[in-house]
Structure 1
Amino acid sequence: MSEKPDYFIGVDVSKLTLSICVLHKNTINHFEISNNKSDIIAFFAMYANMRSYATFENTNTYNYDLMRAFDELGLSYSRLDAFKFSHFLKHNSKNKTDKSDAYAIALYGSKFYDELGKNEFSEEFALIKSYQSGLTQLNKISTQIQNFNEALANIDNQTLKEAMFEVLETTKEQKKKVEDEVFELICSIVPQTGQIIKENKGFGKSFAVYVLPLIYLNKARSSNELASYIGLAPMSYESGTSVKRGMHISGGAKLARNCLFMCSLTASKYNEHFSAIYKRLIKNGKGKKVALCAVARKMLVFVKNFYFKDDR
């Protein structure tokens, strides 16, 4: 980024309110406003005309009005990586309140300003995220009903069995409908979608739904940055007894990471390129899960570098 702003704004977002901390030189000011677009625009209008920069955590849909307002005002902002910020927050203060969190967010923005990238709100990707969350809920419902049906196997209750069967069938129909709609939306946003699925075994609709939007949205990042963002960059913690844990994967975009891992199961068997990688890792003594995680990362990097290399 360019020259540092004069005002660093930290916003702790909740469903109904925004706790705000403004750092300016040696002054610290705290405010609280309602979490609705009109109040947000009214409060931040003056900061949009000054050299200001805002940061806040990614809190599901509760920060959407904040982002919409910032875009409308032209106020620069960044959503913080929750995993990285959580470690900063642990060492900043022993007390955890909305006010202290807002201060920590503002402080984090001022200290790491040069490393944070400017964000913009996308209505299309917000819609895709809602589809993803909806599909996750439908999957959970299907699993719960299937487990319940297994428990009913030795019970003579035909009425309940028929009711559960109908609910399960309806859930499957709705899931397919949602999958088809979001897939069509993604194809319209990411033109490479059809080509990627057609040319690569193991890359199905789930890959398109959960992974491709993140690749497209972060196409300006390097492959390593993208892998780290999704949570496929192994990390080690060497402190006390935790050194025994070795390298492990955590944080990141859970839905995309889980989808990539499931896709790697298919690709390691039926995709000639990734099957060779998997077999080589196993031959070199790697565990099956470690090899699959490596294949998942290779799949991500392959798509990013091959299909989005000129789209930056």
Structure 2
Amino acid sequence: MNGIGIDVSKRQLDVGTTDGKTLQVSNSRSGFAELDLWLQGHPAVQIVLEATGGYEQPVLDFLHNAGHPVVRANALRARKLAQGLGHMAKTDRLDAYALAKMAALVKLRSYQPLEPWQREMRDFVRARRQAMHALTVARQQQEMVGNRELRRLLQANITCLQRTVERLGKRISEQVSKQPQLAALKSMKGVGPGLQAVLASYLPELGKISGKAVASLVGVAPMSHDSGTMRGKRSIHGGRAEIRQVLYMASMSAMRHEPRLRDFYQSLRARGKEGKVAIVAVMQKMLVILNARMRDAQGGSIPA
């Protein structure tokens, strides 16, 4: 059976199959309807789209609701597969074909839409992260200015951004407090509303899959680099950076206030592990523990 890939841009969808069929439609409701009709004549084992900053979300939801086996793939992973297949050039049509090959060759986790409250929370989390980035840029801009009048004008922008970040933080805390299923997360010291919101909205798999799988999704599971008798240095890469950034800050707090994690970190350092390596290990352990607590709170079991 065919694999189908869809390259998504703001205005259009380029569709490709492993047997060479192609289709181009607009990234709109009318385009989705045309795509749905076309897919009925082209059955596929999987339909793979890559994450493109949110432009893929409407078509993902449409295809899922229409009953198609749709998957959202990591963009870096898709690009590396394309290069491995010999596609060094990059066009929308080539990208669609590479995604189709991924659909045919790799069994991926089916797309599961977020609950309405998770979508709203993700919007607020994203807005706060963007405001914090803008605040950092504004402060750097002010530091490079010597004129007192201009510094005052720039300070007004900084003050406005600070208030926005604060207001968004309060709204996120309120949203978290309305979701009792997240109470299991705050049982660990260092896990505040910010991390709870990020995990709830960017890692809905938490508590539903194994701790090892969760660590891999986030990108804190060290990858082997061995060949023959050579044992290379383990490293992390890929994963969901939105989670990793917040998890890092939470791990720094947890290492000071959570005895279990503090002892774990100190034992790694005593064995000669580098500081950054030990911190990543703490991040991974935090995720594994939080995953187990969410599983227990939901009354489920974690797959092997």
Q: Same fold (TM over 0.5)?
A: yes
Partner of 1:12: 7
Q: After the TM superposition, which residues 1-312 of structure 1 pair with which residues of structure 2 at under 5 Å, given as runs?
A: 6-23=1-18, 27-48=19-40, 51-52=43-44, 53-92=46-85, 93-112=87-106, 115-122=107-114, 123-152=116-145, 155=146, 157-188=147-178, 190-197=179-186, 199-237=187-225, 246-311=233-298, 312=300
C-alpha displacement of 1:244: 9.2
Distance 1:60 1:144 in 2: 21
Which shows bigger deviation, 125-134 or 218-227?
125-134
- 1:185 deviates by 3.0
Q: Distance in 2 between matches of 1:50 and 1:108?
A: 17
Mind listing any 5+ residue stretches in structure 2 that lack a counterpart?
Answer: none
Partners in 2 of 1:30 and 1:275 — Cα distance? 55
1:217 Cα deviation after fit? 3.7
Opposite residue 277 of structure 2, the aligned amino acid is V
CA RMSD of aligned residues (A): 2.4
Residue 144 of structure 2 aligns to which amino acid in structure 1? A
Q: Is the 8 A contact 2:6 2:14 kept in 1?
A: yes
Among all aligned residue pairs of Structure 1 and Structure 2, give the percentage whose two residues are the same amino acid: 22
Instruction: Name the aligned partner's letter for residue 226 of structure 1.
Output: V
CA distance in 2, matches of 1:296, 1:87: 26
Deviates more, 1:297-306 or 1:207-216: 207-216
Q: 213-222 or 297-306: which moved more?
A: 213-222
Once the two structures are TM-superposed, the CA of residue 77 in structure 1 deviates from its matched residue by 0.7
In 2, Cα distance between the equivalents of 1:191 and 1:81?
31
Counterpart CA distance in 2 for 1:120 and 1:268 is 33
CA distance in 2, matches of 1:48, 1:99: 21
Instruction: Flag the 1:61–1:169 CA change in 2: closer, same or farther, 3 A.
Output: same
CA gap of 1:248–1:60, structure 2 versus 1, over 3 A, is: same
Residue by residue over 1:83-113, the C-alpha shift from the partner in whole angstroms, topping out at 9 and shown as x without a partner, is 332321111123322111111111111111x
| Structure 1 pair 170–244 and aligned structure 2 pair: CA distance change class (3 A) | farther
Contact 1:215–1:304, Cα closer than 8 Å, also in 2: no
Amino acid corresponding to residue 198 of structure 2 in structure 1: Y
Give secondary structure in 2 for the equivalent of 1:116. coil
1:70–1:77 Cα contact (<8 Å) kept = yes
CA distances 1:50-73 after superposition (whole Å, capped 9, x unpaired): 743311111121111211221231
**CA contact under 8 A between 2:122 and 2:202: conserved in structure 1?**
no
Amino acid at match of 1:97: T
Query: Which shifted more, 54-63 or 176-185?
Result: 176-185
Between the aligned partners of 1:291 and 1:228, the Cα distance in structure 2 is: 17
**Cα contact 2:119–2:201 (8 A) shared by 1:** no
In the alignment, the residues of structure 2 paired with residue 29 and residue 247 of structure 1 have an alpha-carbon distance, to the nearest angstrom, of 41
Q: Give the drift of 1:195.
A: 4.9
SS in structure 1 of the partner of residue 204 of structure 2: helix
Q: TM-score, normalised by structure 2?
A: 0.87
SS of equivalent residue, structure 2 residue 180: coil
Deviation at 1:245, TM superposition (A): 6.8
* 1:125, distance to aligned residue in structure 2 (A): 3.7
Give the distance between the partners of 2:273 and 2:165, measured in 1 at CA. Answer: 37
CA contact (8 A) 1:48 1:74 kept: no
Number of residue pairs matched by the alignment: 294
Q: Is this contact kept in 2: 1:11–1:19, CA < 8 A?
A: yes
In the TM superposition, residue 136 of structure 1 has moved relative to its aligned partner by 2.0
Could you state the TM-score of these two structures normalised by the residue count of structure 1?
Answer: 0.85
* CA contact 2:12–2:24 (8 Å) conserved in 1: yes
Q: Is the 8 A contact 1:278 1:291 kept in 2?
A: yes
Equivalent-residue separation in structure 1 for 2:281 and 2:72 (angstroms): 28
The residue type paired with residue 109 of structure 2 is G
Q: Secondary structure at the match of 1:55?
A: strand
Q: What is the CA deviation profile of residues 168-217 of structure 1, one whole-angstrom value per residue up to 9, with x for unaligned ones? A: 121111112122223333444x42334532x3221122212323434434
